[in-house]
Amino acid sequence: MLHTTTPQLILSIATHFLVPLAIAPLFPGIINKVKAAMAGRRGPPLRQPYLDIFKLLRKTLVISNTTTWIFFAGPLVAVGAMLAVELLIPIGSSPAPIHFAGDVILFVYLFAAARFFTTSAALDTGSSFEGMGAAREVSFAVVSEAALIFSLLIMIRFSSGLSLNTLLLAPFKQGSVGPRLMAAVGLFVFLLAETSRVPVDDPDTHLELTMIHEVMVLDHSGPLLAAVQYASSLRLLILINLVLLFIGPPHTGIPILSWVLFILEASATAVLVGIIESVMARLPLRHVPTLLAAAAVLSGLGFILALR
Amino acid sequence: MAWLVNAILTMVLLLNLFLLSVSRMKSLISGVALQGIMLSILPLLLVKEVDPLILITALVTAGIKGWTIPRMLDKALRDVRIKHEVEPLIGFIPSMLIGAAGTAAALMMTIHASGLHHPKSLLVIPASMSTILTGLLLLTTRFKALTQIIGYLILENGIYIFGMLLLAVVPFLVELGILLDLFVGIFVVCIILNHIHSAFASLDTRRLTSLKE
Amino acid sequence: MFPLILLLGAALLLMVAGTLGLAAKARASWGQMSATALTCLGGALGAAVCLDVLLFLNGPAPVLTVRAVYPNWPLHFRLDPLSAFFALPVFVMAAAGSVYGQGYWNERRHPRTGRRLRFFYGLFVAGMVLVTVADDGLAFIMAWEIMALASFFLIATEDQNPACRQAAWIYFVATHLATLLLMALFALLHAASGSFLLVPLPAAAGWKIETALFLLALVGFGLKAGIMPLHFWLPGAHAQAPSHISALLSGVLLKIGIYGLLRILTLLPHPPALWGVMVLILGSINALLGVVYALGQHDMKRLLAYHSIENIGIILMGLGVAMIGAATDHPVWEVLGIAGCLLHVWNHALFKSLLFFSAGSVISAARTRQIDALGGLARHMAWSSNLFLVGALAICGLPPLNGFVSELLVYLGLFHPTAGKDSGIWALISADAVILAVVGSLAVACFVKVYGVVFLGSPRTERAAKVHESPGSMIAPMLLLAGLCGLVGVFPLVVLVPLSHAAAVWMGRAHVQGMLIRAFPWGTLTVLNFSMVVVAVAIFYLVRISRRFIPVASAPTWGCGYSATGSRMQYTGTSFAGILVGLWSWVLRPLAHGKTPIGLFPKPIEYETEIPPFITDRATHTLWHYIKLGTRPIRWLQQGSVQQYLFYMLAAVVVLLALIPFGNLFARLWGH
């Protein structure tokens, strides 16, 4: 996409950055609504996540007296990393403002940085529950990372580019449909794992012994919990966007229209996540690595097929 | 139609990995059934014109592989009242990874050895090799007698895929003959299993060695 | 020539630094002060010379021939950018380590071993410097032996401890095996090229001799670099040596092995792509198994030692990509691979030494290396804990620190074959990027475990609750290293020139800098990393200010309704790594000793788990067993009396002297 004038460029960067920030909490709301509808309830309104965040921002911050500054760093780094990721990845059909050869790896490592600090913050409280969640988080990430890299390799193969802008906005061509679909399925599993969704994790349960992400933030409260929730909704949006880019949403030349299209597609994906969450049971924890490994193998085979 | 064939074969490849990684017998059986049905479509897509004979054989194959054999296995599973868990010698993730490595090797070999360096080229040979490998892996690394049968079924599927290459040369009826043999074999084994079970109260192949005298 | 003389002078300064102190009384502080001062002086001088060569060298490398030692066998030295690249970390680390030693191995706390340690410390670092500038086989082997023997005595510093003695002896055997192979290597090189000088082989040498040289170098230098399965000496030696020695062993000694391998590769005319594949696979195995073994460790220093194996793996992965690129004529792969390999050598020296230093700080405060016996140290040891955090973030390759830059170079080197249209089957090596990513996330898991369990939470033992921060002499070198980690990470441009000069020597071609600039986003990364730091600092102050406006309350950690939680109920390092150790149990084969509690009111039980050493260790033990059995008939030669051994030496010399006339006779008979 070519920008002729500086104001236009600034406008497009501003939209690229601000629109996702504004709409991110909508998607957990959509998922909850779908789940409620499937269960025959009316469910909370779509704006509930926004209300939650605003309410939490006004609450008292209760800090465990064993903690250090790392406890603050966890949620803040998580939000910061997601904001940085947002500037690196094309969203919908709008290209990322920051791009260079190898930003793929920065993208992956920003997720790792967020993971380092959130799990450290969990260990900082000295609670065995949170330690448990942190251990699961870092362990499962090992397997799901392989799926992510294989998927990105597929796109590197098809686009011959090393920057997220060129490789994720690459058009379909002959022979690329199969591997791209396989990668998209692999990434969808990655999404479910990274955003703590059924069948990997259950965001609703209050059984500490079975949770992964949610159990790590048991001690966060007030504004810090708001940061945690905002970070996780941003993460959901970014990963939905990533999956959509692999399937290749229809591009339109008009920015506003393509943003509308993107929001529609992302909502559809959120609905799909909600449906999966309603119809499936949580996997036993010991089977989670198998599922993630299957996703990695799927993307890996896609990569081999892409080499043809 | 080449893309459809490739899509089906890719699904078969993925099913192979699924079969290596599942732990429930039920899923294993339905996976094999699905694979059988998908494979029975293949000849219809590969021949130049569809004559009634091919259509009938395809229907029969789909019926036997997708319905009859799975039903028999299901029944055996229920009759012998064993635990519905696959007992693996090596874990599910390692067997899946071995299968994936084998599949990748097969793909790379055919891609770079036989000049199939074209997106349109068919995946027949690698799919067949990978399926045979999966069958052998299941045969060698799972202990239950029922999983052994499923292993043979997958092995036969692999040979069947390979037969697709010879569709023009060898009459399809030969394939049907093999299928019939297999069908009878499985029929007999299922009955025998039932009898062994009622006699020895175990279906672990590791203990079948005591039957040798 | 002048820079080289200065550099040798600096090495000499390092070498004699500890000698002066031998005359001091055991508890006198001037011995240690003088050693540290001289080492710092030598280190600064040498580092300056190295930087000068790396930044400004145009034209031929300075050479020097020393005839004073053996008139008939002159020793040759040469200082090209590749040598300077590897000598620089030795100088920096030598100085940093000696300052750290002021506090860590203080003469009042260690009067018995202090003087000896400083003496061999000087020999050790000087030996490493000499290895990097040696330009012929003889000088190389001599410097190598000085380095190897001195490091043996350093590892054996605490020789009252049997475990320490054992680790030192295993190292001794390993290093002599390496020397033996290197002697064979140089003899073969002499046979092929006609001189002991390290000059490129004639193209007509033939692939057989090239392969033999490569394999000898890989195994000989691999023993020193700790390439699996030749790493058997490494974890024990790193764990048992004093921490600043561990830092040097891991940070620079292993790199000398890598240097040797790189240097020998520059001499071979046509390394085939297959060797590159071999190195790449070795590197991947090293990286993966190194970090997996690290995860299972309970001992802080052993864990760090296994991470050295992981990082050597990453270095080898870069080298493998470079070799494949060179063999298949893809200069972009080559330059990215070798740049990643070289930069990771520097980076690992920085962050691993930083980690060993801060681990040493913990050990000297809490008197234990057991991860699960610590906890909550960050409250009392803020400096050490934050500096450890910097090292941990850097070793995990997280932006904006230095590990990210070198890993990105290796990643890009691995991605290029897939992105290129002409790479054919080589596109497959890109799949190795997945291994690198998995290694990265395992490293994150491992360092969250160490950092979280040791420094965060609440103390698990009495000892851990009563720690004090280490003295400034230990903190200062850590600050220096952390600063360098930050400098390379935030301003990667600073390493561009040295890196391209050193890479040019290895690649044997000109205009490397331009290629490197085009292949890697130096500028963008600098801007990005810098702005990341700015944003982080801004957020830090923002949070600090906003804490005044937000109502804050303090409470104990919520136990999910269970009110009697204690510090012993915290997740331990072992349980934290449990899932991953389970996933990798097919290679780790963890052992558990003791019973599990049974019943409603179980009695106290003892239970421990351990990760036995790598499978080849067991193979080595079996091998030794058979060697012992086989040599039983000649066991009587070994009586343990000094006179007897002196007699053997005398006899050997006599026999050799007697052989010379016979040798000449034979030579004449054979018509030479």
Helix (H) or strand (E) holding C63: strand C63-66
Copy the structure tokens of residue C366. Answer: 């809490």
Reduce the DSSP state of residue C206 to 3 states and report it. Answer: coil
**When comparing pLDDT for A308 and A261, which is higher?**
A261
| Cβ atoms of B159 and B132 closer than 8 Å | yes
Copy the structure tokens of residue C369. Answer: 């290396």
C-beta atoms of A307 and B108 within 8 A: yes
Copy the structure tokens of residue A120. Answer: 């450290």
Closest C-alpha to C124, from C74, C69, C171, C56: C171
A249 part of contact set with chain B, CB < 8 Å:
no
Closest C-alpha to A147, from A177, A179, A189: A189
Copy the structure tokens of residue C317. Answer: 């992965």
Give the minimum alpha-carbon distance from A56 to chain C in angstroms, rounded to a whole number. Answer: 11
Closest residue to A293, CB basis, from B3, B7, B96: B96
Q: For the segment C319-331, what is each residue's pLDDT rounded down to a tens digit?
A: 999 999 999 989 9
SS3 content of chain A, % helix, strand, coil (to 5): 70, 0, 25
Copy the structure tokens of residue B134. Answer: 């999966």
Closest residue to A294, CB basis, from B17, B104, B118: B17
A298 part of contact set with chain B, CB < 8 Å:
yes
DSSP state of C613: P
**When comparing pLDDT for C244 and C671, which is higher?**
C244
What are the CA-CA distances from residue A130 to residues A211, A234, C608 (Å)? 10, 22, 23
**When comparing pLDDT for A55 and A160, which is higher?**
A55
| Cβ atoms of A285 and A136 closer than 8 Å | yes
A304 part of contact set with chain B, CB < 8 Å:
yes
A142 part of contact set with chain B, CB < 8 Å:
no
Percentage of chain C lying above the pLDDT 90 cut: 51
Residue A59, pLDDT > 60, answer yes
* Residues forming a β-bridge with C299: C370
Nearest CA in chain B to C427: B108
Q: List chains adjacent to chain B, taking adjacency as at least 3 C-beta pairs closer than 8 Å.
A: A, C
Residue A3: pLDDT band with limits 50, 70, 90: very low
Residue C444, pLDDT > 50, answer yes
C-beta atoms of B93 and C583 within 8 A: yes
Interface of C with B (CB under 8 A): 424-425, 428, 583, 586
Closest residue to C438, CB basis, from A105, A142, A303: A142
Q: How many residues does chain C have?
A: 672
**Residue at a domain's end among C522, C547, C568:** C522
| Cβ atoms of C639 and C604 closer than 8 Å | no
| Cβ atoms of A227 and A76 closer than 8 Å | yes
Q: How many residues does chain B have?
A: 213
C-beta atoms of B112 and C583 within 8 A: no
C-beta atoms of C427 and A307 within 8 A: yes
> What does the pLDDT read at residue B113?
62
Q: List chains adjacent to chain A, taking adjacency as at least 3 C-beta pairs closer than 8 Å.
A: B, C
> What does the pLDDT read at residue A205?
67
Give the minimum alpha-carbon distance from C425 to chain B in angstroms, rounded to a whole number. Answer: 8
Instruction: Give the dihedral of Cα atoms C664, C666, C668, C672; nearest 10 deg.
Output: -100
Copy the structure tokens of residue B50. Answer: 């569809």
What is d(CA C593, CA C511) in angstroms, rounded to the nearest whole number? 60
Q: For the segment C649-667, what is each residue's pLDDT rounded down to a tens digit?
A: 889 888 888 777 776 676 6
| Cβ atoms of A130 and A123 closer than 8 Å | yes
Give me the helices (H) in chain B, please.
2-21, 25-46, 52-63, 69-80, 92-113, 124-141, 145-165, 172-200
What's the domain count of chain C? 2
Copy the structure tokens of residue C379. Answer: 């409250």
What are the CA-CA distances from residue C255 to residues A71, A236, C406 (Å)? 37, 43, 15
C105 part of contact set with chain A, CB < 8 Å:
no
Reduce the DSSP state of residue C78 to 3 states and report it. Answer: strand
C-beta atoms of C428 and B91 within 8 A: no
In a domain, C29, yes or no: no
Copy the structure tokens of residue A49. Answer: 């996540």
Mean pLDDT of A144-151: 93
| Cβ atoms of B121 and A308 closer than 8 Å | yes
- In the predicted model, what is the mean pLDDT of chain C? 88
Query: In A, which residues are within 8 Å of B7 by CB distance?
Result: 178
Residue B142, pLDDT > 90, answer no
Closest residue to B14, CB basis, from A175, A298, A307: A298
Residue A12, pLDDT > 70, answer yes
Tell me the pairing of strands C552-555 and A61-64. Answer: parallel
What is d(CA C173, CA C623) in angstroms, rounded to the nearest whole number? 14
Residue C348: pLDDT band with limits 50, 70, 90: very high
Q: List chains adjacent to chain C, taking adjacency as at least 3 C-beta pairs closer than 8 Å.
A: A, B
Query: In A, which residues are within 8 Å of C584 by CB distance?
Result: none
B93 part of contact set with chain C, CB < 8 Å:
yes
> What does the pLDDT read at residue C451?
95
Nearest CA in chain A to B114: A308
Residue C58, pLDDT > 60, answer yes
> What does the pLDDT read at residue C600?
84
B113 part of contact set with chain A, CB < 8 Å:
no
Q: For the segment C146-157, what is each residue's pLDDT rounded down to a tens digit?
A: 999 999 999 998
Indicate the domain borders of chain A: 6-306
Copy the structure tokens of residue C665. Answer: 């006779």
In a domain, C132, yes or no: no
Residue B115, pLDDT > 60, answer no
> What does the pLDDT read at residue B10?
86
C-beta atoms of C437 and A108 within 8 A: yes
> What does the pLDDT read at residue C397?
93
| Cβ atoms of C301 and C243 closer than 8 Å | yes
Helix (H) or strand (E) holding A64: strand A61-64
What is d(CA A262, CA C330) in angstroms, rounded to the nearest whole number? 40
User: Hey, how many other C-beta atoms are within 10 angstroms of the C-beta on C411?
Assistant: 30
Copy the structure tokens of residue B79. Answer: 């009759």
Query: In B, which residues are within 8 Å of C425 by CB distance?
Result: 108, 112
What's the domain count of chain B? 1
C-beta atoms of C442 and A142 within 8 A: yes
| Cβ atoms of A308 and A177 closer than 8 Å | no
Query: In B, which residues are within 8 Å of C428 by CB distance?
Result: 108
Residue A54: pLDDT band with limits 50, 70, 90: very high
| Planar angle of CA C302, C305, C309, nearest 5 degrees | 135
Nearest CA in chain B to A306: B119
Q: For the segment C198-215, what is each residue's pLDDT rounded down to a tens digit?
A: 888 887 778 888 899 999
Mean pLDDT of C20-48: 86
In a domain, C634, yes or no: no
Residue C672, pLDDT > 80, answer no
Closest residue to B94, CB basis, from C424, C428, C586: C586
C-beta atoms of B13 and A308 within 8 A: no
Residue B119: pLDDT band with limits 50, 70, 90: very low
- Measure CA A111 to chain center: 9
DSSP state of B142: B
Closest C-alpha to A165, from A101, A108, A255, A111: A101
**The whole model's pTM is what?**
0.90
Least confident among B80-94, B135-149, C333-347? B80-94
- In the predicted model, what is the mean pLDDT of chain A? 88
Domain limits for position C654? 640-672
Mean pLDDT of C371-387: 91
What are the CA-CA distances from residue C46 to residues A236, A302, C147, C260, C327 (Å)? 53, 52, 17, 20, 35
In a domain, C479, yes or no: yes
User: Hey, how many other C-beta atoms are within 10 angstroms of the C-beta on C487?
Assistant: 15
Mean pLDDT of C16-43: 84
> What does the pLDDT read at residue C216?
94
Closest C-alpha to A266, from A238, A287, A306, A290: A238
DSSP state of C528: H
Instruction: Give the dihedral of Cα atoms A244, A245, A247, A250; nearest 10 deg.
Output: 90
Nearest CA in chain A to B7: A178
Helix (H) or strand (E) holding C390: helix C382-395
| Cβ atoms of A141 and C438 closer than 8 Å | no
The dihedrals phi and psi of C162, each to the nearest 5 degrees, come to -60, -40
C-beta atoms of C425 and B93 within 8 A: no
Give the minimum alpha-carbon distance from C344 to chain A in angstroms, rounded to a whole number. Answer: 16
What is d(CA A206, CA A227) in angstroms, rounded to the nearest whole number? 20
Copy the structure tokens of residue C352. Answer: 């691993």
Query: In A, which residues are within 8 Å of B96 by CB distance?
Result: 290, 293-294, 297
Long-range contacts of B67-70 (CB under 8 A, 24+ apart): B67/B33, B68/B183, B69/B32, B69/B33, B69/B36, B69/B153, B69/B183, B69/B186, B70/B29, B70/B30, B70/B32, B70/B33
Amino acid making up residue C386:
N
Give the minimum alpha-carbon distance from A289 to chain B in angstroms, rounded to a whole number. Answer: 8
Reduce the DSSP state of residue C135 to 3 states and report it. Answer: coil
Closest residue to C524, CB basis, from A100, A108, A123: A100
Instruction: Give the C window 35-54 contacts with A, CB below 8 Å.
Output: none
Query: In A, which residues are within 8 Å of C412 by CB distance?
Result: 101-102, 105, 162
Domain limits for position B172? 2-212
DSSP state of A65: T
Give the minimum alpha-carbon distance from B27 to chain C in angstroms, rounded to a whole number. Answer: 23
What is d(CA C571, CA A147) in angstroms, rounded to the nearest whole number? 29
Instruction: Give the C window 488-527 contacts with A, CB below 8 Å.
Output: 519-521, 524-525
What is d(CA C568, CA A88) in angstroms, rounded to the nearest whole number? 43
Helix (H) or strand (E) holding C77: strand C75-78
| A–C CB contacts, 8 A cutoff, strictly below | 221
Helix (H) or strand (E) holding C44: helix C29-56
| Cβ atoms of C555 and A65 closer than 8 Å | yes
What is d(CA A231, CA A121) in angstroms, rounded to the nearest whole number? 15
